[in-house]
């Protein structure tokens, strides 16, 4: 309940409460929550600092692997082994850092990877590589005086991520590399880490090693190498910050686009057509009156870019049968909502992170600012109806 009340973000219309709330009660409850806001801004401070450190270190490991992958002329880009090494290495590092930075209390982590395949006989070499990468990254940071981790330590750290989540207690939620396809292409990917408290996302961090600090208006726009690498962080009731991943810039508050006219808006969608129905997005954008072509980016980097107003809308409509996982949206959604945006499913319901590993969604995920959301949901409904009608007439 306390965490639910602390999840004050955005407008009264997007306020999530653990019980149905009639509209006439929204105002008094909002003012109550506003009075509680200073408490909210002090909460989770240690946890946020630990999450930023964990995601930054994991990003360092991933960058090293991606650089080696792109420079190698032997390894084909379709070879999944480098990404496997980086996924596991990133997960082990995040779990290592969180456990050291927050030693008190039980540590529960819901994460994408587990050590099953790594314990097989043919994975010995891969496991050695991961262990070396993790140890090298820890010693490059220099803040932990621990002896080198053994392969068993690394396996145990990866397996800390076996929590199932749910509505009770605190659970960290991790995607060690979100946007595997982008990672392999040398494009965008993110390390996405969030904390759930009593089923609510209370903080989130997105490390985006290939995102430029300056706004992107088009995916293909190159940026100077020294301007690349962003860290977004958000805490309930405290807004969203962006800083450079290398620590070379101070955090700045970011805000979603304040565009009210969809004709001026641009929209993000998955780079991969297999991850989201591009036809449906273009039909929605057309109905809404959006002129600009879609900006296609991999991973939760889309949430980060949207939180600083690079684009105004994010549309995600996975193909039938795909079930969204909480680690693919927990960090991204709080980064956007704390920057003033709204994240809902296609029916306009807020995302519910309290049901375990999966999100129980109506059709898709839509993200925009508060002004555009009503029009966007109307266009979404119209396009989905058309889609259903044409499917039934075939």
Where in the sequence numbering do the catalytic residues fall?
87, 180
204 is a contact residue toward ligand A2P (CB under 6 A):
no
* Distant-in-sequence, close-in-space partners of 70: CB < 8 Å, separation ≥ 6: 186
Choosing from 175, 198, 241, 324, the residue that interacts with Mg ion (CB under 5 A) is: 175
Number of residues that bind ligand A2P (CB under 6 A): 15
Choosing from 270, 307, 354, 368, the residue that interacts with ligand A2P (CB under 6 A) is: 270
Cα–Cα distance measured from residue 316 to residue 259, given in angstroms and rounded to the nearest whole number? 20
Choosing from 47, 175, 197, 243, the residue that interacts with ligand A2P (CB under 6 A) is: 175
310 is a contact residue toward Mg ion (CB under 5 A):
no
> Which residue, judged by CB position, is nearest to Mg ion in the bound state?
178
259, 294, 304, 311, 357 from 256: Cα distances, Å = 9, 17, 10, 8, 28
Q: Determine the interface stretch with ligand A2P among 171-179, 198-206, 234-242, 256-264 (rule: CB under 6 A).
A: 171-179
- Token digits of residue 263: 């004709």
Q: Which does 318 bind (CB under 5 to 8 A by kind): Mg ion, ligand A2P, none?
A: ligand A2P
- 315 within 8 A of 281, measured Cβ to Cβ: yes
Cα–Cα distance measured from residue 56 to residue 297, given in angstroms and rounded to the nearest whole number? 21
298 is a contact residue toward Mg ion (CB under 5 A):
no
The reply, when asked if residue 328 is annotated as ligand binding, is: yes
Q: How far is the CB of 380 from Mg ion (least distance, A)?
A: 23
Choosing from 299, 307, 344, 383, the residue that interacts with ligand A2P (CB under 6 A) is: 299
Q: How far is the CB of 204 from ligand A2P (least distance, A)?
A: 15
The reply, when asked if residue 159 is annotated as ligand binding, is: no
Q: Determine the interface stretch with ligand A2P among 119-127, 202-210, 268-276, 359-367 (rule: CB under 6 A).
A: 268-276
Does the CA dihedral 277-370-231-135 come out positive or negative? negative
Q: Which does 338 bind (CB under 5 to 8 A by kind): ligand A2P, Mg ion, none?
A: none
Cα–Cα distance measured from residue 367 to residue 345, given in angstroms and rounded to the nearest whole number? 9
298 is a contact residue toward ligand A2P (CB under 6 A):
yes
Q: Which does 298 bind (CB under 5 to 8 A by kind): Mg ion, ligand A2P, none?
A: ligand A2P
Q: Determine the interface stretch with ligand A2P among 4-12, 18-26, 51-59, 273-281 (rule: CB under 6 A).
A: 273-281
Q: Which does 280 bind (CB under 5 to 8 A by kind): ligand A2P, Mg ion, none?
A: none
91 is a contact residue toward ligand A2P (CB under 6 A):
no
> Which residue, judged by CB position, is nearest to ligand A2P in the bound state?
270
54, 94, 208 from 156: Cα distances, Å = 17, 12, 26
281 is a contact residue toward ligand A2P (CB under 6 A):
no
Q: How far is the CB of 88 from Mg ion (least distance, A)?
A: 11
Judged by the rule CB under 5 A, the positions of this chain that interact with Mg ion are 112, 175, 177-178, 180, 328
Site of interaction with ligand A2P (CB under 6 A): 175, 178-180, 270-272, 274-276, 298-299, 318, 322, 328
Q: What residue numbers does the annotated binding site cover? A: 112, 175, 177-178, 328
Annotated binding site for Mg(2+): 112, 175, 177-178, 328
């Amino acid at each position: 309940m306390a965490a639910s009340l602390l999840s004050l973000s955005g407008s009264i219309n997007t306020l999530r409460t653990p019980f149905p709330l009639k509209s006439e009660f929204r105002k008094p409850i909002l003012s109550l929550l506003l009075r509680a806001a200073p408490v909210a801004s002090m909460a989770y401070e240690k946890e946020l600092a630990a999450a930023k450190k964990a995601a930054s270190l994991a990003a360092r490991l991933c960058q090293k692997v991606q650089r080696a992958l792109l420079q190698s002329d032997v390894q084909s880009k379709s070879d999944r082994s480098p990404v496997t090494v980086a996924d596991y290495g990133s997960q082990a590092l995040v779990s290592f850092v969180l456990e050291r930075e927050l030693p008190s209390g039980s540590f529960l982590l819901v994460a994408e990877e587990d050590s099953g395949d790594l314990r097989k006989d043919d994975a010995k070499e891969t496991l050695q590589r991961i262990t070396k990468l993790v140890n090298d990254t820890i010693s490059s940071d220099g803040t932990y005086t621990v002896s080198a981790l053994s392969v068993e330590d690394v396996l145990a750290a990866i397996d800390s991520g076996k929590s199932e989540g749910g509505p009770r207690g605190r659970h960290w939620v991790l995607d060690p590399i979100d946007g595997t396809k982008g990672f392999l292409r040398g494009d965008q990917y993110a390390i996405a880490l969030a904390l759930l408290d009593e089923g609510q996302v209370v903080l989130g961090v997105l490390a985006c090693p290939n995102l430029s600090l300056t706004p992107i208006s088009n995916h293909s726009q190159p940026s100077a190498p020294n301007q690349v690498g962003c860290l977004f962080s958000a805490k309930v009731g405290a807004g969203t910050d962006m800083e450079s991943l290398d620590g070379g810039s101070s955090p700045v508050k970011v805000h979603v686009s304040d565009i009210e006219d969809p004709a001026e808006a641009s929209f993000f969608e998955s780079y991969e057509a297999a991850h989201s129905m591009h036809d449906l997005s273009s039909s929605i954008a057309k109905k809404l009156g959006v002129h600009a072509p879609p900006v296609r980016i991999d991973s939760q980097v889309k949430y980060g870019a949207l939180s600083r107003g690079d684009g105004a809308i994010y549309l995600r409509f996975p193909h039938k049968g795909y079930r969204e996982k909480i680690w693919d949206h927990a960090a991204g959604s709080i980064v956007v909502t704390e920057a003033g945006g709204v994240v809902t499913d296609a029916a306009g319901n807020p995302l519910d992170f309290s049901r375990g590993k999966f999100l129980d969604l109506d059709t898709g995920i839509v993200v925009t600012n508060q002004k555009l959301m009503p029009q966007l949901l109307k266009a979404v409904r119209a396009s989905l109806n058309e889609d259903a009608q044409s499917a039934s007439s075939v």
